[in-house]
Structure 1
Amino acid sequence: MFRSLLCRTGLAALLLGAPAGLAAQELTLSAKSGDLKVEGTLLEYDGEFYRVETEFGPLTVDARTVDCAGDGCPTPQETSARFAIAGDSTVALPLIEAFAIYQGAEVEIITGAEGAQTVEIASEAAGPLATIELAPQDDGDPYSAMRDGSDTLVFSTLQSPDPARTQVIGLDAVVVAASDVNPVDGITMDQMRRVLAGEISNWKDLGGSDSALTLHVANGDGSFQDRLATLGLAPQKGVAVQEHARLKDMADVVANDPFGIAVLPFSQLRTARPMGLRGSCGMYNAAKAFTLQSGSYPMTYGLSVTRPAKRMPLFAREFLEFLRSPQAQAVMTDLGFADMGIATLGLDEQGQRLANSLMIIGKEVPLSDVREMTGIMSGAKRLSATFRFQPGSTRLDAQSRENAEHLAAGLILGNYADKIVYLMGFSDGDGRARQNKSLSKKRAEAVQAALIAAAPDGSLEDVDFRVHGYGEASPLVCEDTAADAEINRRVEVWVKDREE
């Protein structure tokens, strides 16, 4: 029993170095069950495991299973976890505070002379739990903070250099914003670029009233400005603009300016209204939480956390796990992001989708395919969890891996018991329709395999999966760019009550 919690020197490689200041003194580790004791000299302690030199040789003991007595026991200060978070503190801090509440602990924020912040977390019962340094964000290369081998988590909206060590915790998007009183509800990317170039300066050219528009721009948040430049959405020199120091200040002004227009992150909209995007073929996409969660809104991107290629302290690992919890996701929603939870949408709320399908019937897509597809969707609910793959591979992208974890957990818990779970694959419009239909079904089969792999063996045996491929029968966006084609290449999840 207790012996199984001890391991020889081979497992000691799992341990990190001992905290500075641990002296070679005697201690006694007593099993909480009271049936065994280990005496010896402490060699290492990482906050999770003791490594003790005993008369039998070095032993490793799980600290959660024993009580420690003696001068060699590490003090609370020595066992407190220490790590850093690099990124936007306005996101990291609320999540840390929520985690502390979840742990029954309190938070103290210490601001240094140059504005650097340190977060101390402690509980009355356990004493100091963690010290977290909040490192300033490097807009040019946020991942530089973890390349020195330090215990650093990186919060960033930029693409991670290591997707396997990255988890997406919230979703954002580039949106065009206006006042709620402005009747214009949509704009094309080309039109917005012409606004930013000064070629369109009146709302009548966008389908509105004969009124001069006011272009608002913000100078803060370098990473967002870089994203706009990459998309060709940066204002051109010489164009008349109203400048703002911060994005949230600009959002408030635009919300109250009936003739204002701006490009903002979805998370910073506040009370401004997002305008939908129209493609060159006439398809329309609204910016709302579901379209971000399902990846169907163009210019959606994730806020992710990347961990270093080393074993981090237990407190940090538990924090990463907490970020997947409903409590953490509620914080992300409060911050303005679309969360990673699974929402539902009925076919009756997707009129634009049906209109898109009607636009392509008869080209290469037979009416029978659309009828079969809509027959399944009728009376069903689409889940926001949508699956896409890394370019040129059958590996799920970072957001889809998170979706697989969330959906598998929901299936295990019985959230969709007594329902049919349809996995419906779709393709872009490139290539022959017959081949696309076959490929889209193979992708749906790959998603089924990923869901089963994400769950304990046999736990999804009772789930009634139905796999279909419909190729290019239901495009979400016009394929004006390669990124648009990626949006259309997806696997959707629909759930429907079983017929009695």
Structure 2
Amino acid sequence: MKAISVAGAFRTVGLALMLAAIASAGAEATEVTLRLKGGGFQLSGELKEYDTNKYVIENKSFGTMTLDASRFDCIGQGCPRAPFAAPASLSLPRGVSRTIRIHGSDVIGAELMPLLVQGYANSIGAKAVKAVGANPLEMQIRLTDANDREITLVELHRYGTDQAFQGLANGSVEIVMADRPITEEELAMLARAGLSDMRSPAHEHVIALDGLVVVVSEDNPAVSLSIENVARIFAGQLTDWSEIGLPPGRINVYATESRSGTFSVFDALVLRPRNLTLTREAQIIDSNSGVSDAVARDPNGIGLTSFAFLRNAKAINIESSCGLITRPSVFTVKTEEYPLTRRIYLYSGILTNPHARGLIDYIFSPAAQSQIAAAQFVDQTPDLLGFEDQGGRIAYALNAPSEDFDMAMMRQLISDMNGAQRMSITFRFRLGSVDLDARARADIDRLIEVMRTPEFSNKSILLLGYADSVGQFSSNSVLSQRRATQVHETLLAAAGNTINPALISSRGYSELAPVACNDSEEGRNLNRRVEVWVRE
């Protein structure tokens, strides 16, 4: 079954807060529907104000109307979660620096961040004017109003994540673009500089996901390759297809240049951890599409490209060290269960310029998700995948050792999944913990918005909890149930009375049906999760 997009099912959350703070003229009208609790009556209009006690809307027939918030439910993508004031001016508060300094990863700063800044400017009715000087790693983007007066200046520097965290510590950077999570050493450095708890939702923001595919020609009989063999092929240690049990032929390696985002992902996830480098025999091509096209024409070729540029080449499944085979797809990247996946982060310090906070809030809006996809990253719009597409995972689970398995529990799990669809939203946890990680906390809001839409308002939601294989099966069963319960309770608390609690259920399934190998910390982290399944 093809993954079904539910794009647009969640709304801009924090952007409304920023608009209230800076009151930005020129922003698009926010249309909402106010429905009488219990039904029977509703009104629609442009939202002008919300102070938790009352809504003020501009209705086309009746003009400006004030309605008691305790008697109405707000329906629509523009519904506020916090006090909202109508816009008035783009100007900054007195004494606030106009410059927002965003430094870090070249992977993020080359295309993605300029697109997001442009999108943010459009969302507040401003213009974005780019300026690149003699140094291609430095860019300035001026945000101006309708009279060409500068509102704020975004400084983008792409000298790497390490250097950017040092700038955050010394006060020369407000926002870090990071293609990896913050390290313990960087956490300590920033804590000494007065920036504590940098893994909290206020500072750590998972803005996108990145993945790549290993491709061969359609004429190549290869279907799956182990991650170890992929590494050895690209390092030049395996040079003939016969060395991995396929018809003989010299292996021709194709790759993008070392500075490209695609190669950076592969180098970070596959080559560097094994102390390997790309073979000198590799044919370097200047684009992802060029790699795909070259491989498609070469029956002995193998290459790396992004999900957006598969074209006429064939994607190879990746086999992990324990024999678990994962098919490359946008869905498996969104769940982070495809081995060649990584998170893309922003880390924010103390933000005094309200446009800096507005930009971060905009990045989590539905409008920004299409820009993330346009920059060849994987956005976080929830998708659905049917049970029948999970067959490989279930087959692997049925071969688990007896100490990691319970047949009765497995039958119940299959019964829960059969006829349902898995949502790409997947909640993950720290070792032995029921505390949600950074992306999971944002996914609570995404799931709530999906459940509020008409398409999902009457569907049942199953929260299925799991553990890694560390410890006894019985204790992991308890822990997995606690995790499912934690998500269940957090979801209801965050949603208030806007979703039907009777439609949500939660169960724990210990260490059954792993999505990654339990022989590494990275794999165990992926297995500590709660999946979301949807049933009619």
TM-score scaled by structure 2? 0.71
The 3 A distance-change label for structure 1 pair 489 and 342 is same
Contact 1:219 1:244 in 2 (8 A): no
Match of 1:348 among 364, 371, 388: 388
Structure 1: segments with no counterpart, 5+ residues: 1-14, 17-31, 34-61
Q: CA RMSD in A?
A: 3.5
Residue 169 (structure 2) pairs with residue 128 (structure 1)? no
Q: Deviations over 1:59-118 (max 9, x none)?
A: xxx9978989xxxx9899998942122242311111122222223332211222334321
Q: CA deviation at 1:287?
A: 1.6
Q: Is the 8 A contact 1:267 1:335 kept in 2?
A: no
Tell me the distance in 2 between the aligned counterparts of 1:202 and 1:153: 46
Q: Which residue of 2 is the match for residue 109 of structure 1?
A: 130
3-state SS of 1:277 partner: strand
Q: 2:532 aligns with which of 482, 493, 499?
A: 493
Mapping of residues 432-451 of structure 1, within 5 Å:
432-451=472-491
2:412 aligned with 1:376: no
SS at match of 1:141: helix
Structure 1 or 2, whichever has the larger Rg, is: 1
Q: What amino acid is aligned across from residue 257 of structure 1 in structure 2?
A: D
Aligned-pair CA distance for 1:472: 2.0
Question: Among 460, 472, 482, which residue is 2:521 paired with?
Answer: 482
| 2:274 corresponds to 1:257 | no
Partner of residue 119 from structure 2, selected from 80, 93, 98: 98
Residue 336 of structure 2 is matched in structure 1 by: 295
**Distance of 1:74 and 1:326 partners within structure 2:** 26
Q: 1:137 to 1:402 in 2, by over 3 A?
A: farther
Q: Distance in 2 between matches of 1:439 and 1:94?
A: 42
Task: For residue 471 of structure 1, report the CA deviation from its aligned partner.
Answer: 1.1
Change (3 A) 1:392 1:266: farther
- Give the corresponding residue for 1:210: 248
Q: Is the 8 A contact 1:203 1:211 kept in 2?
A: yes
Normalising by structure 1, report the TM-score: 0.76
Given the alignment, which residue of 163, 185, 193 partners 1:141? 163
Q: Are 2:352 and 1:312 aligned?
A: yes
Match of 2:10 in 1: none
Query: Using the alignment, how far apart are the partners of 1:166 and 1:494 within structure 2?
Result: 27
Preserved CA contact (<8 Å) 1:109 1:118: yes
User: 1:136 Cα deviation (Å)?
Assistant: 2.3
- Distance 1:74-1:440 versus aligned 2 partners, 3 A rule: closer
Which 10-residue stretch deviates more, 484-493 or 392-401?
A: 392-401
1:85 counterpart = 2:123: no
* Matched residue SS, 2:370: helix
Would you say the 8 A contact 1:347–1:379 is kept in 2? yes
Displacement of 1:274 in angstroms is 3.5
Q: AA paired with 2:373? A: T
The residue aligned with 2:141 is 119
Give the % identical residues.
26
> Do 1:428 and 1:489's aligned partners in 2 also have CA atoms closer than 8 Å?
yes
Give the match for residue 286 of structure 1. 327
Task: For residue 281 of structure 1, report the CA deviation from its aligned partner.
Answer: 4.0
Structure with higher RCO (Cα < 8 A, 6+ apart): 2
Q: Following the alignment from structure 1 to structure 2, what is the Cα–Cα distance between the partners of residues 472 and 316?
A: 42
Q: Structure 1: how far apart are the matches of 2:176 and 2:296?
A: 32
Tell me if the contact between 1:77 and 1:128 (Cα under 8 Å) persists in the aligned partners: no
Q: Which residue of 2 aligns with 1:468?
A: 507
Counterpart contact for 1:170–1:332, Cα < 8 Å: yes
1:190 aligned onto 2:228? yes
Would the alpha carbon gap of residues 79 and 204 (structure 1) be closer, same or farther in structure 2, given more than 3 Å must change? same
What are the Cα deviations for residues 326-371 of structure 1, in whole angstroms up to 9, with x where unaligned?
A: 2111111122222111111110222212212322285542322122
Shift of 1:417: 1.6
Kindly indicate whether the alpha-carbon contact (under 8 Å) linking 1:425 and 1:490 is maintained by their aligned counterparts in 2: yes
Letter in 2 for 1:355: A
**Structure 1 pair 113–279 and aligned structure 2 pair: CA distance change class (3 A):** closer
